[in-house]
Structure 1
Amino acid sequence: MKRGRQVGSSGVDLPDDKHIREVEEEGYKYLGILQLDKTLNTKIKSKITSEYVRRVKKLCRSKVNGGNMISGINAWAVSVLRYSAGIVDWTVEELVSMDRRTRKIVAMNGCMHTRSNVARLYLPRKERGRGLISIEECVNKESKSLHGYLRENTEWMLQADLKEKVLDEEENLQDYQKRRQEEKIRNWKEKDLHGEFVRQTADVAGEDSWRWLRNGFLKKETEGLILAPQEQALRTNSIKHSIDKTSVTPLCRVCGDSPETVALRVHWEICGKYGIECTDKWYDHQPLAVAENRDVRITWDMTVYTDKKLSHYRPDITLLRKDTQEWTRIDIAVPADQNIINTEEEKVAKYQELAFEIKKIHRASKVTVIPVVIGALGTISKNEKTWHGKLDIPDIVGSAQLSAILGTAHILRKVLCF
């Protein structure tokens, strides 16, 4: 370098007879960062951005499930930028643009609805988000972490860097993380449309309502599809009528029965508990109208005949213990999530008259009505442990929840245009 400019050279001979060749215009890499007389910010930014985008696209086009796709982006793609934090002078506009490009790639591959809440995408899964790491937030956190390290270190050279304000951070890492998370939660829950689902289900949802999202086992496309109606991002007839103020009728385009797979799993578990032959996998199970042995009789979707004509006489599953003459009536429902408690109460109330007739005609010692109710978008009732305890079967809540969600996803794909 002469007077701040690079000039041609044949290289430099070192005392140990080694020769350093001339540095090319593209610079050289030192600890992975392109440098010449200074850090080559423009070139290293271009290389980092290209590699980051390549990795995100590869993960979004893969066949991994939703949880693994997000984890892969966080671990494999975001790490490309994480290393440059505090060294490369990223601007806020560049980081925000990269986050926007990430969401565009995710949406183009069907993993996120274009009208879904952005803040929720970056919330941790334990907070009902999808857990993606924001590029802007990642770089800021790493810079603040590095600033904290300089501040606490007593080495004179690092203290000199601190005095030169190589990194100037007014907010510490802990305060920044707390503030950003509170902002994201507020951004999601206080939105008129995006936060409506949380407000409607606040009083009825149990702790397992978000198990499917925390586990991340669903396909990435299905995960994005289910979150969209929760955030009222889908242009349903109701939304078009009430929000867009169009002349479209607000009535539903399709009415279907509750997914049979939820009841199927319950029937399979009961058969297994009482030693009635069934398939190895619950989803291969083909319920018989009547399945019995010397101890129990289990009926599937059968009418219970009584002397008196009743409005409700056909529960999904009936279990009779022959030795004690105890009857258990199990009815399954997958209603709108905000209605799960009301549906449970309705299920119990509407079969009380049938229970009375069974006691009178069949001399039953006891008749129990158990409602199994799961919201169409996965909400689990606060009473779930009560009915599950009465069934006394292995924990089926997770798989029943997935069955309801997959049934909803099937209906959405069938009748809605995205």
Structure 2
Amino acid sequence: MDDLKLFAPNSQDLLELLKTTEVFSSAINMEFGVDKCAVMHVQRGKVVNSTNLQFSEAMAFRSISESETYKYLGMSQSLGIEDEGIRQSVKERFFSRLTKVLNSLLSGGNKVRAFNAWVMPLLTYSFGILRWTQTELDALDRRVRLLLTTHRMLHPRSSVMRLYIPRKCGGRGFLNAKDLHNREVCNLRNYFLNKECGMHRDVVAVDRNLTPLSLANENWRKPVVLSTADRKAAWESKVLHGRFYKALTGPDVDLLASVNWLRFGDLFGETEGFACAIAEVMMTNNYRKYILKDGTLDICRACRRPGESLRHIISGCSHLANGEYLHRHNLVARIIHQQLALLYGLVDREVPYYKYSPAPVLENGRATLYWDRSITDRTIVANKPDIVIIDRSQRRAVLVDITIPHDENLVKAEKDKSSKYLDLAHEITAMWDVDSTIIVPIVVSANGLIAKSLDQHLERLSLGGWIRGQMQKAVILDTARIVRRPVPLSAALTTGSLGPAPLLAAP
């Protein structure tokens, strides 16, 4: 810091302080920037006009009049700090930076990091110095959320609490201005009140509402600071928003793996906001009937059956099962199939999973890889797993089956897949003369939740844990595509539309 403010009872003592400062400055090869230096003369609490202070023959400091201000540590000051003008200037610069970040081509995660590291420090620098009211801070946070909604990074009905929870806990990771301000003020007060230095004691004694800290006020009311635990509890308590949180924190769910797409993903901000809204609340017919109570019939616009809830749309609609859900399922299956083909040397190079077309049969001297093929003609109910591997070197067969259930059915779906192919496993062991046949269920929920057992299943396939992130991203992107898809023309016309319309409106 090279800004320095000197106080003295008279001009003579001030000159002595300046001489001492000059000695220290010369020792570290610094000198006065005379054009930025000034002197203010104060008598009985008022600024008085005076002549310039002559420090040496070649150096004089100009005198500041009552109407002038000077800038110290980035803030315009006179006898005090001009709170109103500086607050307005800070807010203008804050929202200017925020708009630049939101208009940039950064990914959603990097926009959040830019907000926390480049935009928010403009405000935090002023906390404890400028007077910010709780109402002002609430209004500022609301305007931030409004801009996020305008730039399609936040659905208007999404959880506000989730917005300010760290991304490693399943939140969006934004900093909250009100919480930062209240925490900073409390920390500064504790610092001054617990400091035994004489200067600090003097500051505490005279600060009777002179600063936002109001150090001499014994009846000072401590502002509320919401912790991450408080926000999690509020998020969980919501009937609709809390469903995803309860599923995310379930005993069999790998929380860190389930939020990897938030922590390390490179989704666009709009896609990230939409994916979060799908996991929480969207404008379905079920929502309109039971929450908004606008008289809408709770009929699915795709299958024309009662109950158009979010759960129904992303994983339970019969009209979407053989098309949209199968497409999402096959994306994950393609990722697994291609990595197995590369592992056993059945293909030469890797291509993006959405461009990969699995061959029905791939074979070499080491292994045989089947894709979506019936295994036996005998009467076995489950006879067509997604992927089958015959590993000749280990004399074993592996049945891989993929499913994309709803969040609440994550564990149940895995158990069902494990038991579904037991008869087929016994049949293959006898039919193909292998020592063993193992069943490997691959389960990722429609909102990207991952069970703790997934790493074990991938290890049994000799595939690295990194592949789960790719599968998770594929599922989340395709779930968003399903929700955005247009409904059939006949269904759209029956709901009063003039043509095909999105199944659910994007934020």
Aligned position for 1:247: 297
User: Which of 274, 277, 282 is 1:228 aligned to?
Assistant: 277
Say yes or no: does 1:188 pair with 2:256.
no
State the distance in 1 between where 2:251 and 2:219 align: 37
User: Which of 472, 477, 482 is 1:411 aligned to?
Assistant: 482
Say yes or no: does 1:157 pair with 2:225.
no
1:276 Cα deviation from its structure 2 partner = 2.0
1:63 Cα deviation from its structure 2 partner = 1.5
Aligned position for 2:179: 137
1:294-345 per-position Cα deviation (integer Å, ceiling 9, x unaligned):
0101111222232x24433221111012355421111111111111211112
Q: Could you say what secondary structure the match of 1:212 adopts? A: helix
1:204 Cα deviation from its structure 2 partner = 3.7
Aligned position for 1:112: 154
Alignment of 1:239-318 (within 5 A): 239-245=287-293, 246-249=296-299, 250-251=307-308, 252=313, 255=320, 256-258=324-326, 259=328, 260-283=330-353, 284-306=355-377, 308-318=378-388
1:36-84 per-position Cα deviation (integer Å, ceiling 9, x unaligned):
2321111101100000001111111112122211111111111111111
1:220 Cα deviation from its structure 2 partner = 1.8
Q: Could you say what secondary structure the match of 1:318 adopts? A: strand
Aligned position for 1:402: 473
Q: Measured at CA, do residues 171 and 342 of structure 1 come closer, stay the same or move farther in structure 2, by a change above 3 Å? A: farther
Kindly indicate whether the alpha-carbon contact (under 8 Å) linking 1:278 and 1:285 is maintained by their aligned counterparts in 2.
Answer: no
1:416 Cα deviation from its structure 2 partner = 1.4
Aligned position for 1:14: 54
Kindly indicate whether the alpha-carbon contact (under 8 Å) linking 2:375 and 2:383 is maintained by their aligned counterparts in 1.
Answer: yes
Aligned position for 2:4: none
Say yes or no: does 1:88 pair with 2:88.
no
State the distance in 1 between where 2:148 and 2:402 align: 35
2:505 partner amino acid: C
State the distance in 2 between where 1:310 and 1:83 align: 69
User: Which of 330, 334, 340 is 2:404 aligned to?
Assistant: 334
Deviates more, 1:408-417 or 1:37-46: 408-417
Aligned residue pairs total 413
State the distance in 1 between where 2:348 and 2:224 align: 55
CA RMSD between the two structures: 2.8
2:325 partner amino acid: D
Q: Measured at CA, do residues 200 and 71 of structure 1 come closer, stay the same or move farther in structure 2, by a change above 3 Å? A: closer
Kindly indicate whether the alpha-carbon contact (under 8 Å) linking 2:338 and 2:350 is maintained by their aligned counterparts in 1.
Answer: no
State the distance in 2 between where 1:368 and 1:331 align: 11
Q: Could you say what secondary structure the match of 1:114 adopts? A: coil
Deviates more, 1:152-161 or 1:374-383: 152-161
Kindly indicate whether the alpha-carbon contact (under 8 Å) linking 2:373 and 2:386 is maintained by their aligned counterparts in 1.
Answer: yes
Identity %: 30
1:92 Cα deviation from its structure 2 partner = 0.9
1:181 partner amino acid: T
1:150 Cα deviation from its structure 2 partner = 1.8
1:336-379 per-position Cα deviation (integer Å, ceiling 9, x unaligned):
11112111122222222322333343334322221101001011
State the distance in 2 between where 1:327 and 1:152 align: 69
Q: TM-score, normalised by structure 2?
A: 0.75
State the distance in 2 between where 1:82 and 1:235 align: 36
State the distance in 2 between where 1:171 and 1:239 align: 47
Say yes or no: does 1:355 pair with 2:402.
no
Q: Measured at CA, do residues 332 and 171 of structure 1 come closer, stay the same or move farther in structure 2, by a change above 3 Å? A: farther
1:3 Cα deviation from its structure 2 partner = 8.2
Deviates more, 1:345-354 or 1:85-94: 345-354
State the distance in 2 between where 1:225 and 1:135 align: 24
Kindly indicate whether the alpha-carbon contact (under 8 Å) linking 2:373 and 2:385 is maintained by their aligned counterparts in 1.
Answer: yes
Q: Could you say what secondary structure the match of 1:235 adopts? A: coil
Q: Measured at CA, do residues 168 and 24 of structure 1 come closer, stay the same or move farther in structure 2, by a change above 3 Å? A: closer
Q: TM-score, normalised by structure 1?
A: 0.90
User: Which of 237, 240, 249 is 2:285 aligned to?
Assistant: 237
Aligned position for 2:497: none
1:286 Cα deviation from its structure 2 partner = 3.0
2:54 partner amino acid: L
Stretches of structure 1 that go unaligned for 5 or more consecutive residues are none
State the distance in 2 between where 1:22 and 1:348 align: 82
1:271 Cα deviation from its structure 2 partner = 1.4
Aligned position for 2:145: 103
State the distance in 2 between where 1:347 and 1:138 align: 48
State the distance in 2 between where 1:230 and 1:290 align: 37
State the distance in 2 between where 1:266 and 1:131 align: 31
Aligned position for 1:146: 188
1:394-415 per-position Cα deviation (integer Å, ceiling 9, x unaligned):
1111211111111112212223
User: Which of 247, 263, 276 is 1:214 aligned to?
Assistant: 263
1:200 Cα deviation from its structure 2 partner = 4.2
Q: Which has the larger radius of gyration?
A: 2
Deviates more, 1:211-220 or 1:68-77: 211-220
